[in-house]
Amino acid sequence: MRILYQLTSPMEKALGGEEILRRKQVLESNANAGTEVDVRSIPSGPGSIESAYDAALVVPEVLTALADAEKEHFDAAIIGCFSDPGIDAARELVSMPVIGPGASALYLASQIGSRFTIISPGPGVRIGARLRALGLADNFASVRSIAMTVLDLAQQRNSTLERIADAGRQAAKEDGADVLVLGCMSMAFLDITEELQELTAIPVVNPVLASLHMAETLISMGLTHSRAAYHELQSKQIF
């Protein structure tokens, strides 16, 4: 099976081409035997997704990339951002499964605990409406910020680990959280999940792995999004 991990930034400009290669290696090392994963950036856009505004800016580029990927016969695509930007539009546009890491991680968290906390890079995360749409509002404990930008945390593994662990312990003690969800893909690519579980003593859901294995599951089961829910576009011409 062939899976596209579609980045939502021109990452080679912000972090260098070696970071794209590293993320590809992380995905392939965690994929099932026989799974091929390609990682691609978009040609233009914000260096990272730090806000709803940033997420909105990248949607056209992501949609174009996913349409091209389907023509190249990829079996599934992952939108590489925790906010899952443009996922509904993408599912109208293409027939292959399109997976959102955020939704995948949150649904998984709800299956292994009763209340989850999302660890976010920065403040000001508006999650309420999204959780209600996903039907997960009753499972939500809190959002805990570690006060770092996405680009900073991608390059500062040790300090990021310490901040997340501290936030996770506070969430468990003060918010009643019994599961943590890493609320950023750059955070999730730091390979700190197992260490965080030891430091916090509760499960930590990594959205990179949740979305990868969800993609593999859908492909292996022959499933994709329902056309009764996501109506196929009758015209895909843009003038």
Q: 91-127, pLDDT tens digit by residue?
A: 999 999 999 999 999 999 999 999 999 999 877 567 8
Per-state percent for the chain, helix, strand, coil, to nearest 5? 50, 15, 35
- The rounded distance, in Å, linking the Cα atoms of 221 and 50 is 35
SS3 144: strand
Distance of CA 118 to the CA centre of its chain: 12
Q: Cβ contacts of residue 174 below 8 Å, gap of 6+?
A: none
Q: Which tokens is 133 given?
A: 């749409």
Distance of CA 33 to the CA centre of its chain: 22
Check for a shared fold between 2-100+210-221 and 102-207: yes
- CATH 3.40.50.720 assigned to domain 102-207? The reply is no
Residues of the chain with pLDDT under 50: 239
SS3 131: helix
Read off the pTM: 0.93
What is the residue extent of each domain of the chain?
2-100+210-221, 102-207
CATH, domain 2-100+210-221, list 3.40.50.300, 3.40.50.1860, 3.40.50.720, 3.40.50.1820: 3.40.50.1860
- The rounded distance, in Å, linking the Cα atoms of 173 and 143 is 14
At 151 the pLDDT is: 73
